[in-house]
Structure 1
């Protein structure tokens, strides 16, 4: 699996919310699914686990 692109996630979610009329939760779920995750909760959990175990920014 690749490291998720947080900038792409945020941009897609914002567009889906404001241009697509989705709720923030729906928009974030869609953005997460575009990167291969089940939903936004899965996306954020995976990213948090990666940061903790791989020590990004060290």
Structure 2
């Protein structure tokens, strides 16, 4: 089953983790991405970009 990026949930979780946890934005995005099942933020953004360009999930 392909992972489906949820940008609204990703952004909200990253902001909460960054603010409440006092973490860097980069670390907060990694945590938000992992919460959706992605390896890290780079993987999340890669899948999202591919979907935007091709309208297909990998």
Normalised by the size of structure 2, how large is the TM-score? Answer: 0.87
The 2-side partners of 1:2 and 1:45 are apart by 12
SS of structure 2 residue aligned to 1:22 = coil
For the aligned residues, what is the CA RMSD? Answer: 1.2
Larger radius of gyration: 1
Corresponding pairs, count: 55
Normalised by the size of structure 1, how large is the TM-score? Answer: 0.87
Of structures 1 and 2, the one with the larger relative CO (CA 8 A, separation 6+) is 2
Structure 1 segments, 4+ long, off by >3 Å, are none
| Offset of residue 3 of structure 1 | 2.2
